[in-house]
A = this chain, B = another copy of it.
Amino acid sequence: MRRGVIEFCVLALLDRREHYGFELVQQLSRADGLLISEGTMYPLLSRLRRDGLVQTEWRESSAGPPRKYYRLTPTGSDALQRYRQQWELFRDAVDAIIDERQERHNESEQP
């Protein structure tokens, strides 16, 4: 169901401020209906990096192992904007389909 949308959500979160991977997993899992695992997140972040949508920076943590912080690039911002439009179109299209219950179609197609 959420195929491709996780990428969108990650970009949206990174638009607010920079995050590290583990943190993103927690943020998204907090939201009902968006539970994801690390095995989903890290490959996704690698893809985003490979495609130049994010850039990374290692930083030490005062408690625990070092963290890899991700930040949006200009390319990433552009992609996010496109995703946003696409999402709204998509969301409204689905809502339209599931809302029109028992709509009367007078297209009885027998000539």
- Listed in ascending order, the chain A residues whose CB lies under 8 Å from chain B are 1-5, 8-9, 12-13, 15-17, 28, 31-34, 62-63, 84, 86-87, 89-98, 100-103, 105, 110-111
Partner of A34, one of B13, B28, B94, B100: B94
- 21 A-B residue pairings within 8 Å (CB atoms): A1-B8, A1-B86, A1-B87, A2-B90, A3-B4, A9-B97, A12-B97, A15-B101, A16-B100, A16-B101, A16-B102, A16-B103, A28-B97, A31-B96, A33-B86, A33-B89, A33-B93, A34-B93, A34-B97, A84-B98, A87-B94
Chain B residues lying within 8 Å of A16, measured Cβ to Cβ, are: 100-103
